[in-house]
């Protein structure tokens, strides 16, 4: 065999060996994860819709007449750990019992045309969110949706407008996901004014294990830790995590860039309440020259989109920052 042919063969073998051993580039951390082929199903009951993921209870949409506002309760991890405060829906011995309207995932605002749709002090004193008709559920292709339209009813039973709630349930990796789309509708012949206040908007009340004093970590997208540093601050997201029943778990709430007032302020309390609130600019900053009031003109609407991710581990372990980047990009 001539020397040229031998040299060629050697080069080919050498390149082949290098190709086999060469390290492959890492996948981008911002690549969208595949939504699990999870089966979302619903089980209706009087005044409730139970949500199941792969046949296991995940949450329940409550719209019984005894409650002044509908809500989702409890929220569970995919492994079945309940991260919600039980009271007043399913009270547990020794847990906190403040703020009866802090039930799971809920929403409200205490200054809609000057009327309090946040607190629940009796229906002769504070307003209610009443379903205009039975909520509708549908499922398929790895997700499921509950849609409800709620009347903004004053204590005098006058409707100021409506709030349309659309909850979309899915799973990504080992996390459960709820996309929350909310539309405020001025459809009763008058404009709506949503005033500057810290008391609102879309919030969640955690199990007492998520209290800061009990060792929970409260973290925002800017890397700030603790209620003393994140309350009243603007951020893309906030995450609470702790160890509950021997398992580390957390919940992150994401604010979408399309939302009015983005990035939102956070009513993030150390006792276990976390609320995304773009309205309370004056309250949160203490600057009397600022005003977070938003107007919805007659016949108009105001839209918001949030995402909740119920994850195992800490925010860092769950790669919450990457999950937010995917959410922000439309994944």
* Mean pLDDT score across all residues of the chain: 91
Q: Are 283 and 198 in contact (CB under 8 A)?
A: yes
Give the per-residue pLDDT at 19.
37
Contacts of 162 (CB under 8 A, 6+ apart): 132, 149, 150, 151, 152, 184, 185, 187, 188
- Cα→Cα distances 72→58, 69, 103, 146, Å: 10, 10, 8, 11
CA separation for the pair 252, 166 (Å, rounded): 19
Give the per-residue pLDDT at 36.
57
Q: Residue 22 half-sphere exposure, CB side, CA atoms within 13 Å? A: 8
Using one digit for the tens of pLDDT, what is the confidence trace for 165-208?
999 999 999 999 999 999 999 999 999 999 999 999 999 999 99
Of 30 and 185, the one with more pLDDT: 185
CA separation for the pair 159, 152 (Å, rounded): 5
CA separation for the pair 6, 72 (Å, rounded): 73
| For residue 27, pLDDT beyond 70 | no
CA separation for the pair 287, 281 (Å, rounded): 8
CA separation for the pair 170, 308 (Å, rounded): 11
Using one digit for the tens of pLDDT, what is the confidence trace for 250-305?
999 999 999 999 999 999 999 999 999 999 999 999 999 999 999 999 999 999 99
């Amino acid at each position: 065999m001539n020397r040229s042919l031998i040299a060629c063969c050697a080069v080919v073998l050498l390149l082949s060996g290098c190709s086999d051993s060469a390290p492959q580039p890492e996948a981008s951390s911002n690549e969208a994860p595949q939504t699990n082929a999870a089966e979302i199903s619903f089980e209706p009951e009087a005044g409730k819709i139970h949500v199941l993921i792969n046949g296991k209870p995940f949450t329940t949409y409550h719209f019984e007449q005894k409650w002044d506002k509908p809500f989702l309760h409890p929220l569970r991890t995919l492994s079945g750990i309940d991260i919600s405060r039980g009271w007043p829906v399913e009270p547990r011995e020794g847990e906190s019992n403040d703020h009866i309207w802090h039930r799971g995932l809920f929403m409200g605002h205490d200054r809609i045309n000057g009327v309090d749709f946040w607190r629940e002090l009796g229906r002769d004193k504070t307003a209610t969110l009443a379903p205009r008709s039975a909520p509708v559920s549908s499922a398929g292709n790895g997700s499921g949706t509950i849609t409800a339209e709620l009347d903004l009813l004053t204590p005098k039973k006058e409707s100021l407008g409506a709030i349309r709630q659309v909850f979309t349930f899915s799973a990504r990796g080992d996390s459960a996901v709820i996309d929350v789309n909310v539309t405020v509708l001025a459809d009763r012949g008058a404009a709506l004014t949503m005033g500057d206040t810290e008391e609102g908007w879309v919030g969640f009340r955690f199990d007492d294990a998520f209290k800061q004093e009990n060792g929970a970590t409260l973290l925002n997208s800017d890397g700030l830790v603790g209620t003393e540093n994140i309350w009243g601050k603007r951020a893309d997201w906030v995450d609470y995590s702790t160890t509950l029943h021997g398992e580390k778990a957390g919940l992150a709430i994401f604010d979408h860039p399309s939302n009015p007032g983005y990035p939102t302020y956070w009513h993030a309390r150390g006792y276990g309440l976390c609320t995304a609130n773009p309205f309370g600019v004056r309250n949160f900053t203490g600057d009397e020259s600022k005003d977070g009031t938003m107007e919805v003109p007659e016949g108009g609407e105001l839209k918001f989109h949030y995402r909740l991710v119920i994850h195992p581990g800490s925010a860092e372990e769950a790669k919450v920052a990457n999950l937010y980047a995917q959410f922000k990009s439309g994944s």
